[in-house]
Structure 1
């Protein structure tokens, strides 16, 4: 079985996979200071709860956008599983796709893994929208070449900045406003409308501009924690895949196993 580890700016996701099927997954807040021993105590107990034998793990792959966290994940793999982990994007196989941009090396590992999974599952030109700490938009052509993208502040980050900068504004949950009106009658409603519908407008507007520049039909794939919430309020997504990153890691692990 495969242990896939996706180290994001906000959370680290661990998933046990059989082939591309996710058997179990867990997440913990990203903290570069967390030691391999701390990860092990947490992870091995959770695996036991799911009746997953640590000895059944025979491959580990890691994707990270937090370089400082990699060392302790590497120690975890070697000390507690006896496995040298695969670092996604490194080695002779790399990512397995071309990047037609100015600085290919600057492409984040999470975005690269999403590209691998999306191109494997869908034909034609693609736009991937990933709702993470940042919301990213990535364009892939029909041949699987990365053509560029957009990085926008994530909705949680935007809301946090708003609340932090304005002393009188309260903290609110990110959810669809109760009212259908865009004229809020109190502070909380006005914030909810601005954050939620403002973000829907941002997504729709940027995707429309990307499609116009691509100049060919492009399928839009959404992933990330808030993808399902926004999918309920816009028709812009052709598919929603919350597990896109983990699937991409499983595909890269398959390729590494095949040599």
Structure 2
């Protein structure tokens, strides 16, 4: 099986993917570039056993990362404990198989490119991929699979952190879908939730309307990231939810590389 590793700014996701690209298990850990290969190995060994797997079940490793400092220890993890040289998404034999039709293609984050690869493989036509992560990103993909550009906005947790950090009397609240569709809060907490939640819904709906008008053709909107389900409760902006899109992109990229070999 393939061990796919998605190293994001906030979390690292490890997933076991079988040869039919089905995810058999997944685990999440906070991103810390100081974490060593040995620490990863102890943690992963226990989780593999809990799911009924061993290290011997892993016959390939691929890493996608937007945290350069985390890459070395993940590569050591692969070579030392799984005895495999890890593919690195976007590098070497795992170079991007899509056209990055933007002014600075070298600066496109691995997670964004992987989302484009996976979404284009699953959905025909023009696409917008929304990823609710540390940042909220929108990727525009044309019918040929080329990445045409996108939008980067602060993630909802970053926005909440900034609000609470700058206003001494405002409490930290949980981000959740409001029970009511009313945007008028009656308490400080409900007013904050309204501003954060409905503010993000309005931002997404507004940006999508502008992007669709600019594209001028029918567009499929694919949402991913942990908070996509939360927002989907109160908007019809998304045509599809794909919570594991980045992992799917890693698995597809690995498959394409091995088929070329």
Structure 2 equivalent of residue 239 of structure 1 = 240
Render the CA deviation track for 1:228-252: whole Å, top value 9, x for unaligned.
1111111110000001111110001
Structure 1 equivalent of residue 151 of structure 2 = 150
Structure 2 equivalent of residue 17 of structure 1 = 17
Taking the TM superposition and a 5 Å limit, the aligned residue runs for 1:74-153 are: 74-153=75-154
Q: SS of the residue aligned with 2:84? A: coil
Q: Which runs of 5+ in 2 are unaligned?
A: none
Q: Which runs of 5+ in 1 are unaligned?
A: none
Q: SS of the residue aligned with 1:126? A: strand
**Cα drift, residue 179 of structure 1:** 3.4
TM-score (norm: length of structure 1): 0.98
Q: Distance in 1 between matches of 2:93 and 2:36?
A: 29
Structure 2 equivalent of residue 249 of structure 1 = 250
The total of aligned residue pairs comes to 259
Render the CA deviation track for 1:77-105: whole Å, top value 9, x for unaligned.
00001000000111245110111110011
Q: Distance in 2 between matches of 1:144 and 1:67?
A: 26
CA RMSD of aligned residues (A): 0.8
Structure 2 equivalent of residue 51 of structure 1 = 52
TM-score (norm: length of structure 2): 0.98
**Structure 1 segments of 4+ aligned residues over 3 angstroms from their partners:** none
Distance 1:92 1:15, change over 3 A: closer
Q: Distance in 2 between matches of 1:181 and 1:109?
A: 38
Q: Distance in 1 between matches of 2:151 and 2:87?
A: 28
Q: Distance in 2 between matches of 1:93 and 1:256?
A: 6
Q: Distance in 1 between matches of 2:239 and 2:178?
A: 24
Q: Distance in 2 between matches of 1:212 and 1:170?
A: 39
Q: Distance in 2 between matches of 1:179 and 1:137?
A: 27
Q: Distance in 2 between matches of 1:38 and 1:17?
A: 22
